[in-house]
Amino acid sequence: MVVIRRGRAAGIGAPQASRKGRSTMPLLEIAQIVDARGLSCPLPIVRTAQAIKKVGPGALIEVLATDPGSVKDFAAWSRATGNAVLESSSEAGVYRFVLQRK
Amino acid sequence: MTLIAERPAGTAIDSAEQARPELKPEPEPAMESETPVKDLLIISYSGDLEKVWATLILASTSGAMGVKTRVFCTFWGLQNFVKDEKRITGENWMQKMMSVMQRPGISHRKLSRMNFLGMGPWMMGMLAKKYNVASPKELLEVAQEMGVEFIPCQMTMDMFGLKPDDMMEGMAEPVGAATVIGLMTENSVPLFI
């Protein structure tokens, strides 16, 4: 389990102790947000692939999409590339994925 | 395993029970070595808007998924990848005439059916814009950025009188059918579009 915190891109990828210092749970920040809302296939995947190249290994990327096909597409993309889908959720027609570069 | 062949007649169950440990399947080898990721080879044969559009959607997605992707451009498929600004290509009058009848370039594709003097492609373009579908030109740029290799067919280059300068930036060296068959039979999933 990974706790994801939005914030500045400092210290991306390095597991950090939580503020209280008791938990050893790694705390990671989102390095980049890809806003693919409104875009049709295959642009959400393509924009994500472009963005993930620019972050380091282990860094997190958050993707927002409205394409209903993206749920299965991101799962397939993750299997093919080895980049993990840490979170997949939807709210009010917007799909949110948190991906981690391998 | 040769176990069944070696078992003497009439000693069926007991000896088979004893031999069971040997029948255990071997530990599974790592998945990667069993199912290597295949390359994708798209043969772009058609110059029709709807077909090159599908080609570029698949090629850009495949590139984005980290799959080594090649597009072999032959016959009318090669005309998709002539520079947009080239109006007339070819050396002799027949080759020139061909380029006048069907303007080459990714932004000048026609629908194979219901083209209606450009009304069809215009409406497709409007619908694509309305529903945020990337145009073939955008997809082509993205595909190249994702490392998709576009390989011209030497024979088609000669037949249409196309020079390397006529082709879009970043195309690979022209090759022949044998190279394509070689790729197809090695490790590529082939598509003919």
- pLDDT confidence of residue A9: 44
User: Other CB atoms closer than 10 Å to residue A83's CB: what's the count?
Assistant: 20
Q: Which of B32, B61, B68, B127 is the best residue to mutate to test the A interface, defined by the most A CB atoms within 10 Å of its own CB?
A: B61
pLDDT at B13 over 60: no
Cα of A16 to nearest chain B Cα, Å: 30
Average pLDDT over residues B62-67: 94
B66 touches chain A (CB under 8 A): yes
B57 touches chain A (CB under 8 A): yes
User: Residue A56, exposed/middle/buried by CB under 10 A (0-12, 13-18, 19+)?
Assistant: exposed
State pLDDT tens for residues B89-104. 999 999 999 999 999 9
pLDDT > 70: percent of chain B: 81
- pLDDT confidence of residue A28: 77
pLDDT at B29 over 50: no
- Note whether B134 contacts A38, CB cutoff 8 Å: no
- Note whether B64 contacts A42, CB cutoff 8 Å: yes
Average pLDDT over residues A55-63: 95
Show residues of chain A in contact with B125, CB under 8 Å: none
Q: Is the pTM of this model over 0.80?
A: no
Catalytic residues of A: 41
Neighbouring-strand partners of residue B93: none
Q: Is the ipTM of this complex over 0.90?
A: no
pLDDT at B18 over 80: no
Q: What is the DSSP letter of A45?
A: H
Which pLDDT band, with edges at 50, 70 and 90, does A24 fall under? low
Q: How far is CA A13 from CA A88, B23, B65, B119, in A?
A: 20, 46, 22, 51
B189 touches chain A (CB under 8 A): no
- Note whether B63 contacts A81, CB cutoff 8 Å: no
pLDDT at B190 over 90: yes
Average pLDDT for chain B: 86
State pLDDT tens for residues A65-74. 999 999 999 9
pLDDT at B24 over 60: no
- pLDDT confidence of residue B33: 44
Neighbouring-strand partners of residue B110: B48
- Note whether B65 contacts A43, CB cutoff 8 Å: no
DSSP string for chain B? --HHHHSPTT-HHHHHHHHHHHHSPPPPPPHHHHSPPPEEEEEE---BHHHHHHHHHHHHHHHHTT--EEEEE-THHHHTTB-TT-----SSHHHHHHHHHS--SGGG-B-SS--GGGHHHHHHHHHHHHTTPPPHHHHHHHHHHTT-EEEEBHHHHHHTT--GGGBPTT----B-HHHHHHHHHHTEEEEE-
- Note whether A45 contacts B65, CB cutoff 8 Å: yes
Average pLDDT over residues B57-83: 96
Average pLDDT over residues B74-97: 95
A41 touches chain B (CB under 8 A): yes
- Contact partners, residue B98, CB within 8 Å, separation at least 6: B90, B160
- pLDDT confidence of residue A17: 44
